[in-house]
Amino acid sequence: MSKRILFTGGGSAGHVTVNVALIPRFIALGWDVSYIGSMKGIESELIKNIDHVDYHGISTGKLRRYMSVENFKDPFRIVKGVFEATHLIRKIKPDVVFSKGGFVSVPVVIGAKLNKVPIIIHESDLTPGLANRIALPLATKVCVTFPETIDHIKSDKATYVGAIIRDELRAGNTTLGLNFLQFTNSKPIILVMGGSLGSKKINETIRSNLTFLLEQFQVVHICGKDQVDASIHMDGYQQFEYIHDELPDVMASADTVVTRAGSNSIFEFLALHKPMLLIPLSKAASRGDQILNAQSFKKAGYAEVLLEEELTNESFMISLHVLISKRAQMVAAMAQHDHSNTIDQVIELIQDTSK
């Protein structure tokens, strides 16, 4: 009889990409794979494109840190989600649950605990997110990406594994990327990514400086949903809401990257040896986790950091040129980072926990 694994996580691409990296491996090993996410979140879009995965949507509530009338409704949605997840888990009978976090994961983790199913949590950021902090007491094991995270969890459940990188990203082809973008080898390529939902401020800064940027670089700009500016047509500039199948090739073709500081993305760029200018989400818009991630990467010599509060046209261009001047030494530092067996280590941990 095949073993069964249930994945959960969602709300943003960062809470899904690790699962996307692991799922094909378990399918290849002959496991039955199921996924519980929200009805209409980004996880439903990303996971439903994967063959041999049974996707189940449940009611979810968002764990907010600010006042909203929705805060009074969401506890009822979460309770409903717990009942739905508990019923689904009873029906699926998984041997193990792997949770990537995000607000949708909380009802699933509670449902798994009520059904006495082992739970493995994965935390990408340097400090645990709210959903994972809630789920931590219920978990069997916690996988962490930064070694410093163990100090924040303070539990023998925590295991440092490093970053899980999608296999397909390593297979990117520079020539295919150039052909897709209609770029040439004449100028270096800057890849701009503002996260799965995009960043209005980063997008505006790039567009304000396009004339100057295109004198020295070609720019591929992944803007986020509904943020493409159809009025801009310039040689050496390509913009997209999101790139799916061609992303590994586009990443391979890039020389440097301007991006937020979500853990999954920056570790992917690290694995591909792409020096970064990191513009983390501000504390006003987040819990500050991206700032900590960015500081860690700057300290290691992988990136330059420009705080969003300090982002202007002038500061952006100065920071970018500092990044370009340090590019060679950043690539050398990245080459020293060993992440080769992380995914195999996590798979082994999941297999051991499911016994």
Nearest to 242 by CA among 40, 41, 18, 42: 42
Say if residues 57 and 38 touch (Cβ distance below 8 Å). Answer: yes
Structure tokens at 186: 């004449």
**What type of residue is 179?**
N
Res 225: pLDDT = 84
Lowest mean pLDDT among 19-33, 54-68, 110-124, 269-283: 54-68
Nearest to 41 by CA among 54, 52, 55, 27: 55
| Strand ordering across the sheet containing 189-193 | 237-240, 218-222, 189-193, 256-259, 276-278, 303-305
Residues in the chain: 355
| Sign of the dihedral defined by the CA atoms of residues 354, 121, 298, 278, in that order | positive
Q: Is the pLDDT of residue 253 over 80?
A: yes
Say if residues 192 and 221 touch (Cβ distance below 8 Å). Answer: yes
Q: Please state the separation of Cα 105 from the chain's center in Å.
A: 15
Say if residues 258 and 279 touch (Cβ distance below 8 Å). Answer: yes
Q: Mind listing the pLDDT tens digit for each residue in 10-35?
A: 988 788 999 999 999 999 999 999 99
**What type of residue is 220?**
V
Res 13: pLDDT = 78
Q: In DSSP terms, which residues pair with 221 in a beta bridge?
A: 192, 239
Q: Mind listing the pLDDT tens digit for each residue in 269-325?
A: 999 999 999 999 887 767 788 999 999 999 999 999 999 999 999 999 999 999 999
Say how far apart CA 267 and CA 157 lie, in whole Å.
23
Q: Is 50 helix (H, G, I), strand (E, B) or coil?
A: coil
In which band, very low, low, confident or very high, does the pLDDT at 1 lie, cut at 50, 70 and 90? Answer: confident
Superfamily of domain 4-165+340-353: Glycogen Phosphorylase B; (3.40.50.2000)
Res 49: pLDDT = 84
Superfamily of domain 168-335: Glycogen Phosphorylase B; (3.40.50.2000)
Say if residues 105 and 38 touch (Cβ distance below 8 Å). Answer: no
Structure tokens at 33: 């794979």
Res 68: pLDDT = 54
Which H/E stretch holds residue 61?
Answer: none
pTM: 0.85
Work out the average pLDDT over 97-113.
95
Q: Is the pLDDT of residue 84 over 80?
A: yes
Which residues in 256-286 are b (16+ Cβ under 10 Å) and which e?
A: bbbbbbbbbbbbbbbbbebbbbbbbbbeeeb
Which H/E stretch holds residue 285?
Answer: none
Say if residues 162 and 143 touch (Cβ distance below 8 Å). Answer: no
What are the sequence ranges of the domains in the chain? 4-165+340-353, 168-335
Q: Do domains 4-165+340-353 and 168-335 have the same CATH topology?
A: yes
Res 62: pLDDT = 66
Work out the average pLDDT over 243-265.
95
Res 129: pLDDT = 84
Res 329: pLDDT = 97
Q: Is the pLDDT of residue 203 over 90?
A: yes
Res 60: pLDDT = 85
Say if residues 299 and 278 touch (Cβ distance below 8 Å). Answer: no
